[in-house]
Amino acid sequence: MLKKNIFRKMEKRLIGILFILIGIHMMVEAQDCYYFHEYQCKFPDNTYYINGQSRSALFTYGMTSQFKMVTFGGEDYHISICYQFKIKNIRFRLIEDNEDKTVLFDNAENKYVTEVSFSNNVARRIIIEISVPDEPTAKDRGTPQCVGVLIHSRKTYQEPKNKLGF
């Protein structure tokens, strides 16, 4: 009788621990996408610094999403995207955030490259738009997957005006 009570108490504790572990595992899986861009997107050379406007998000097939970034004059930028989707035609566009909404870059016009570098002369706001095409035959159609946007920046290199000395 005493052994049965001990086993029941141990059984209840084990079941409780199991539920706690499953809950922790589910929370970790749900937050897995938060730093996706830092580990999966391409880094440029080491003269660039990670820009705090970089981010990752969950997407599904057929989804389009935008976020805004601020660029400053006298800086170079490198933007790369990365994703878990099996398809290779994920579109990203850089759109000037003004009345005209001028498209500054569209990777669909450049064989769906996953990165772009540019120099910026004046401060401006830019909209980064990511579009995942609809794939009705995809096996993982209903499963949200990570898309990351990694932004790097650096001061634009300028030749010194006075070439005397060091």
The answer to whether the CB of 20 falls within 8 A of the CB of 114 is no
CA distance 116 to 145: 23
pLDDT in tens, 64-122: 999 999 999 999 999 999 999 888 899 999 999 999 999 999 999 999 999 999 999 99
- Tell me: do 41 and 10 sit in the same domain: no
- Tell me: do 77 and 150 sit in the same domain: yes
CA distance 52 to 105: 21
Residue 165 lies in a domain: no
Q: How many domains does the chain have?
A: 2
- Tell me: do 21 and 49 sit in the same domain: no
- Tell me: do 24 and 40 sit in the same domain: no
Query: What pTM was estimated for this model as a whole?
Result: 0.74
- Tell me: do 12 and 59 sit in the same domain: no
Please classify residue 56 by burial: count the beta carbons closer than 10 Å to its beta carbon, then call 0-12 exposed, 13-18 middle and 19+ buried: buried
Q: Which domain range does residue 81 map to?
A: 36-155
Is the pLDDT at 152 greater than 70, yes or no?
yes
Residue 166 lies in a domain: no
- Tell me: do 65 and 24 sit in the same domain: no
CA distance 133 to 65: 12
Tell me the CATH number at 93. Answer: 2.60.120.380
pLDDT in tens, 124-141: 999 999 999 988 788 888
